[in-house]
Amino acid sequence: MTNPHPVHVIVIGAGILGTSTAAHLARAGARVTLVTSGKPADGASGRSIAWLNSSGARSTEYRYLRLIGLDRYRTWRERHPESDAYLRFDGALKWGGENESFRDTFAYERAGGYDAVWLDREQVAELTPDVNADAVAEEGAIYNRGEGWVNLPDLIAALLAEAVADGARVIENAGDVRVDVRDGAAVGVILGDGTPLAADRVVLATGGHVPGQLAALGVPVPDATPSAFVVITEPVEPRVRTVLNTPNVAVRPMPDGRLVLDADWAEKSIVVEDDGSITVPDASVEGLLAEASRVLAGHPTLTAERVAAGLKPIPGDGEPVVGVVPGIGGLSVLFTHSGATLGLILGELIAEEIVTGAPSPVLDAFRLDRFEADRELGEVGIGAWAPVTQ
């Protein structure tokens, strides 16, 4: 029987986390309004390297969350055969830099049962012919056959279409949307033009803006969000299939043959002005293009089509921040790095919590109250969190 009075949830933010949450809520029968300051996917989701993985050393809970995140992408592919155009599991290759060994990383991944294979240069040339094997570290590289990539704007469009088909309302160009809190509870949102919208529950999923928005509500969250950028190239032939994570550049294919490039060193080169505007040095763009050409087979000539810069969401301890906001009834939050890998699963679990009222044990390690516990123990203060790079 259809619920005559379904819970009304307003989701703020139309990146992968907000859109996934809205789609899962609408599928579960909730009344959903999705509001976003601009257009869907115009924030971090539109400039994400979007590497789907559970690679490297992580906490047990975080590794498990990422693994079931990968599982949901494979489920999505089965339900949406057309997603083969924007969602691929063609494998990923990574190797260390000078005086840096990845042998311990490989041992860690294998000890946890992760699909990792150690390749020497000859095997790299055989299994990943789109990679320049001579650029690989002398010791070899880790090949993760089950990893892949997603083009988030395409996935977001598909999720939005499903949400709308299930009755969701989408409000774009809403400006600076604020959570409307009265007597300690979220009762809706206030749009940028001052228009109030009432709701039973609110979900805050605005990427790197989450810490500031929560701080305005009196809820501090440790934040390591940097400004970052990616370079999107013009189409390259032959097509690149493998996701690459190398010492000086990360490379991810796009559906139309373009590539997305980024690197930690390049991120650190940007200049952030007092007004928040970001300047990306031309030398950093050219450096990424040159390094990507060096690690790809045939050394293709790469040309930047555009540079996309903005905030890259990263909580202060590197772990996701998910679930109800302590002290504010009816408000939930999603704030995490690895939004691509976690997008489908976090949207599903948060929607389930809201509709059923039962907290998900999978999310217990990622609740906001972990920070309060740390402060009470005197172990760490809000200003003591160091940035985390992943």
Question: Is the confidence at residue 24, as pLDDT, over 90?
Answer: yes
Torsion, Cα 292 95 127 52, to 10 degrees, reads: -80
Domain ranges of the chain: 8-47+153-224+316-384, 90-146+226-311
- Residue with the bigger pLDDT between 5 and 240: it is 240
Question: Is the confidence at residue 388, as pLDDT, over 60?
Answer: no
pLDDT of residue 16: 98
Over residues 83-109, the pLDDT tens digits come to: 999 999 999 999 999 899 999 999 999
Tell me the residue length of the chain: 390
Q: Please state, in angstroms and rounded to a whole number, the distance separating the CA atoms of residues 149 and 257.
A: 13
| Average pLDDT of every residue of the chain | 94
Question: Is the confidence at residue 377, as pLDDT, over 70?
Answer: no
pLDDT of residue 387: 33
Question: Is the confidence at residue 238, as pLDDT, over 50?
Answer: yes
Q: Which stretch of DSSP H or E encloses residue 56?
A: none
> Which of 69, 45, 108, 91 lies closest to 311, judged by CA?
45
Q: Label residue 1 by pLDDT band (50, 70, 90).
A: very low
The first and second tokens of residue 4, run together, are 């005559």
Over residues 310-359, the pLDDT tens digits come to: 999 999 999 999 999 999 999 999 999 999 999 999 999 999 999 999 99
CATH architecture of 8-47+153-224+316-384: 3-Layer(bba) Sandwich (3.50)
The first and second tokens of residue 208, run together, are 């790197």
Q: Please state, in angstroms and rounded to a whole number, the distance separating the CA atoms of residues 344 and 21.
A: 8
Q: Are 6 and 170 in contact (CB under 8 A)?
A: no
Over residues 242-260, the pLDDT tens digits come to: 999 999 999 999 999 999 9
Average pLDDT of the residues in 266-281: 94
Q: Label residue 384 by pLDDT band (50, 70, 90).
A: very low
β-strands 51-52, 92-94 pairing: unpaired
> Which of 203, 216, 390, 229 lies closest to 315, judged by CA?
390
Q: Please state, in angstroms and rounded to a whole number, the distance separating the CA atoms of residues 125 and 121.
A: 6
Quickly tell me which residue has 């302590």 as its tokens.
326
Global pTM exceeds 0.85: yes
* Residue 165 Cα distances to 26, 29, 87, 352, 374, angstroms: 9, 12, 22, 19, 43
Over residues 139-163, the pLDDT tens digits come to: 999 999 999 999 999 999 999 999 9
* Check whether domain 90-146+226-311 has CATH 3.30.9.10, yes or no: yes
The first and second tokens of residue 316, run together, are 């202060």
Q: Please state, in angstroms and rounded to a whole number, the distance separating the CA atoms of residues 320 and 224.
A: 12
